[in-house]
Structure 1
Amino acid sequence: MTLAETDHAEFARRWAEWHEAHERNRADPHGFLAITSLRWLTPEPTRFDDAPGVWSSTPEGVVVELAEGEELSVDGDPVHGHHRFAELDERGGVFASSGQLVIEVARRGGHDILRPRDPGHRLVTEYPGTPTYDPEPAWARPGRFVPFDAPRTVTVGAVVEGLEHVYEAPGQVEFELAGATRRLTVFGGAARGGLLALFTDATSGVTTYAASRSLSIAPPDAAGAVTVDFNRSFNLPCAYTDFATCPLPPRENRLPVAVEAGERLPAGRGGAA
């Protein structure tokens, strides 16, 4: 095996580990594939057919009224009758449980929501895995982080009509692709100092999910250098379930070239925007 072949094999091995970790997370019995509904809570107390209790959104927080014989577990403690959840931060949430059911109480776009999660839901039990492009080192593009003079507040749309998400963008990543300099506005990533890009490209709605793909980028080095590895582009929950509130990319993150790398359109989800 030549040095180039060895390097490619090692690159593919590391990519496979990354993809397998994403697949394990998606197959979690109480992950986003287990969501059975998306409920927008209002001040009107409402009972739903896939969660115990009567739920409402109040100025003091989400309230549930449990009938006799109904019980929730919140932070490991049993809850009966009236319970008020602490006020939630935007994009924050807490989980309660009832038997095998886990109930997500969260806040999205300024609205309180309820999302029950059932490990018996067919999206979990019948999950076939996510198709991908074969990993290619050429799609790992060297680039640099270009910070804004000051972080900018960026408002983007969502897969839910009328909903908006607000993020803080510290800057852009710049790289060469298809003979031109490209830039993506980035947000803060999950890892400390890391970056996150939401983008579409010419494959979106054809071989990849129409609304968006996501790409995590490791923290820049002291000179601002980064690697934009499109092989690690991954689907957001909205690619799999209609009960997600995923953000859309900023307008400037719509790449005019086909990025044939990373995760592809999940089976049965269609290619139309």
Structure 2
Amino acid sequence: MTYESDWQLWHIVREQDLSREQGWLSLTAFNWLTTTPAELPGLPGKWWAADGLAHVEATDLTLDGEPLDGSASASVAEAGSLGWLFYGDKLAELVLRGGRYAIRQRDPQAPTRVGFHGVPAYPVNPRWLVTGHFTPFTEPERVEVATARPDLRQHVTAVGTVHVALGESAYELVATSAGEGQLSLSFHDETNGLETAPWRTVTTGVVQGDRSVALDFNRTINLPYAFTDYGTCPAPIPGNRLALPVTAGEKVPR
């Protein structure tokens, strides 16, 4: 398999994942819960947060495949999510962001999903496949960042820096863990706001024994906020800015 055909396969799987029935393209609403029971647009019942839990009183909802007739409560970890209740084929997803509970709705009939025709991307260019060097922090560091929502700031856990040469310059990007020995790098570059979303992210290869790490910017992706108004995606850690146009990876969605 050639480098380009391998990328094409990856891109097809990426688009299939986005367009899943309850995937990121299905988001249709995001509502913070208050301490006072209140209605949420598009869902029956009253919803609120109290005593470290999210609560609902409603009929016509389904919990664990069974009709809910009365009330239910649930919790979720910070930055996590819970596919909590269904209203028909619409999912009421519970999230905790910045210490506040919210309900995010996923609907298979969302215009962003129904009208999805793929993610535009730059032509594949092997010059954007580079090698960096990872320097881990002695201890992971908790860093506050902006998010896709102006009313929300979140914390991410930085695990070290990746040093990489691009163009005529060397850069140092702060990384978070992507699991399984890989790193996640969210960054700004000079294509943002023109051909790409305000920021994008790339997942590295597995960190090697000599701490070298492969970065394939052709696999740079958009975070969910680029497709929908209801994402809560963390922005890059301050300083993660590349002073050149990264003409690789996904462009701004149509």
Q: TM-score, normalised by structure 2?
A: 0.95
Residues 160 and 245 in structure 1, CA contact (< 8 A), matched pair in contact too: yes
Residues 146 and 234 in structure 2, CA contact (< 8 A), matched pair in contact too: yes
Deviation at 1:29, TM superposition (A): 1.6
Match of 1:51 in 2: 43
Deviation at 1:111, TM superposition (A): 1.1
Match of 2:80 in 1: 92
Match of 1:245 in 2: 232
Query: CA deviation digits over 1:193-242, x for unaligned, max 9?
Result: 211011010001111002x1011112201110101111010000110111
Output the aligned Cα RMSD: 1.3
1:264 to 238, 241, 251: 251
Residues 36 and 50 in structure 1, CA contact (< 8 A), matched pair in contact too: no
Residues 61 and 88 in structure 2, CA contact (< 8 A), matched pair in contact too: no
Match of 1:157 in 2: 146
SS in 2 for 1:234: coil
**Residues 101-140 of structure 1 mapped to structure 2, 5 A cutoff:** 101-140=90-129
Match of 2:180 in 1: 192
SS in 2 for 1:47: coil
Query: CA deviation digits over 1:144-163, x for unaligned, max 9?
Result: 11112222111111111131
Match of 1:73 in 2: 63
Deviation at 1:80, TM superposition (A): 2.0
Residue ranges of structure 1 left out of the alignment (5+ in a row): 1-8, 268-273
SS in 1 for 2:10: helix
Equivalent position amino acid for 2:94 in 1 = V
**Residues 203-242 of structure 1 mapped to structure 2, 5 A cutoff:** 203-210=191-198, 212-242=199-229
User: More strand by proportion, 1 or 2?
Assistant: 2
Equivalent position amino acid for 1:13 in 2 = S
Equivalent position amino acid for 1:192 in 2 = E
CA distance in 1, matches of 2:138, 2:241: 23
SS in 2 for 1:71: strand
Residues 73 and 98 in structure 1, CA contact (< 8 A), matched pair in contact too: no
Equivalent position amino acid for 2:63 in 1 = S
2:190 to 202, 207, 210: 202
Query: CA deviation digits over 1:66-112, x for unaligned, max 9?
Result: 14xx23223x4443201111x21111111122221111111112110
Query: CA deviation digits over 1:132-188, x for unaligned, max 9?
Result: 001111101111111122221111111111311111111011111112211110001
CA distance in 1, matches of 2:52, 2:173: 39
Q: TM-score, normalised by structure 1?
A: 0.89
State the 4+ residue runs in structure 1 displaced beyond 6 angstroms: none
Residue ranges of structure 2 left out of the alignment (5+ in a row): none
SS in 2 for 1:251: coil
Match of 2:156 in 1: 167
SS in 1 for 2:208: coil
CA distance in 2, matches of 1:233, 1:71: 38
Q: Does 1:32 align with 2:24?
A: yes
SS in 1 for 2:144: strand
Aligned length: 253
CA distance in 1, matches of 2:219, 2:164: 16
SS in 2 for 1:134: coil
More displaced 10-residue stretch of structure 1: 197-206 or 49-58: 49-58
SS in 1 for 2:189: coil
Residues 76 and 96 in structure 2, CA contact (< 8 A), matched pair in contact too: yes
Residues 220 and 249 in structure 2, CA contact (< 8 A), matched pair in contact too: yes
CA distance in 2, matches of 1:55, 1:177: 50
SS in 2 for 1:253: coil
